[in-house]
């Protein structure tokens, strides 16, 4: 039960990371709001998608290390 939050974090990281890599144009309005002073581009959205996938892998290794 303690790792339920980590499992949810891994799933969210994978979902948003893959979605940002596959459909960066659909995330453009969200990133325009979140990154207000800077212009959002497909390059930054893909970079954040890769970072989300990296975070998901990091959390996955933490889960496997707890067993």
pLDDT at 14: 83
pLDDT tens column, 13-64: 788 888 888 888 887 887 778 777 777 788 888 888 888 888 888 878 887 7
d(CA 41, CA 8): 28
pLDDT at 65: 75
DSSP code at position 35: T
Nearby residues of 46 by Cβ (< 8 Å), 6 or more positions away:
20, 21, 24
Domain ranges across the chain: 4-66
Answer yes or no: is pLDDT of 6 > 80. Answer: no
Answer yes or no: is pLDDT of 1 > 60. Answer: no
pLDDT at 13: 78
Kindly state the helix (H) or strand (E) to which residue 38 belongs, with its residue range.
none
Answer yes or no: is pLDDT of 3 > 80. Answer: no
């Amino acid at each position: 039960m303690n790792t339920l939050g980590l499992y949810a974090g891994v799933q969210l990281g994978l979902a948003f990371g893959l979605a940002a890599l596959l459909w960066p144009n659909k995330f453009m309005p969200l990133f325009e709001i979140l990154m207000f002073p800077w212009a959002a581009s497909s390059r930054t959205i893909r970079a954040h998608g890769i970072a989300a996938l990296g975070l998901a892998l990091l959390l996955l290794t933490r889960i496997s290390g707890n067993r």
